[in-house]
Amino acid sequence: MSGGALDDGVQAGIEQLECSLAGIEALLEKLNPAAFEAAVEALGVHDGAKLHATTAFAVSSLYFVYLRCLGQVPQDHALNKEISRVKSYFEKIRRARDGGAGDQPTSRVDTAAAGRFVRHALGSQQIDLDAKTVADKLEADAQHGRTHKRFASRRLASDSRSTVAPETNNVLWQKLRAQATSTEELVDKFLEEHRKRKQ
């Protein structure tokens, strides 16, 4: 090896690198945005996702090689996190293709709490539907034996003033909320309706 001449192995490696770079440049020219989108549309959903991930991985890998050629340590560069992120997409695509087999749910539904919410929401509406007037409610209570005979006459006398069951306040509030433009207007309308119903 004379001063300035390269070893044959190094020279062959450089020539191979130049050929590879020419091939990569030809491939990258084919990846203009219009051609890329046409290729993605021609593929199915999973294959299109794989094409996106593969292209991102290829470009990141090329930049990794570029950093190595500059003498930098790519493992310390932010590019390493990007490559890891792209690799995680390959795993997500695989799981989506397999239908999520073997996945553990990331969050759990508290079924007891959900049941309470549903029962509460349906409960007040059910009462409103079942007892449209206080008299209907008293009659239903009497049929089910829920009214004490001694207090039934007092309750009937006090409830005869109102024809609206207390549970319907929620329904009234919801109806007025759809019509009101502000909270103050909603409260005013609610109180006005409530006063009308009590008279």
Asked whether the beta carbons of 176 and 186 are under 8 A apart, the reply is yes
pLDDT of residue 167: 47
Q: Name which of 111, 140, 110, 128 is nearest 164 in CA terms.
A: 128
Grouped pLDDT means (10 residues each) for the chain, 199 residues: 70 86 81 78 84 87 84 81 88 81 68 79 56 61 61 52 55 75 79 77
> What span, in angstroms and rounded, lies between the C-alpha atoms of 125 and 172?
12
- For the stretch 21-72, pLDDT in tens is 888 888 777 777 777 788 778 888 888 888 888 888 888 888 888 888 888 8
Whether 60 contacts 79, CB under 8 Å: yes
Phi, psi (degrees; rounded to nearest 5) at 109? -85, 130
Question: Which residue in the block uniquely carries the two structure tokens 């109806």?
Answer: 175
The pLDDT, as a whole number, for residue 25 is 83
What local confidence, expressed as pLDDT, does residue 83 receive? 86
Residue 137: Cβ-neighbour burial (10 angstroms; 0-12, 13-18, 19+): buried
Distance from C-alpha of 70 to C-alpha of 8, rounded to nearest angstrom: 22
Q: Residue 152: what pLDDT?
A: 54
Count of other CB atoms within 10 angstroms of residue 45: 11
Among candidates 143, 60, 52, which has minimal Cα distance to 96? 52
What is the structure's pLDDT at 127?
A: 52
What global pTM score does this model have? 0.43
Q: According to the model, what pLDDT value does residue 131 have? A: 47
Structure tokens at 127: 């009462």
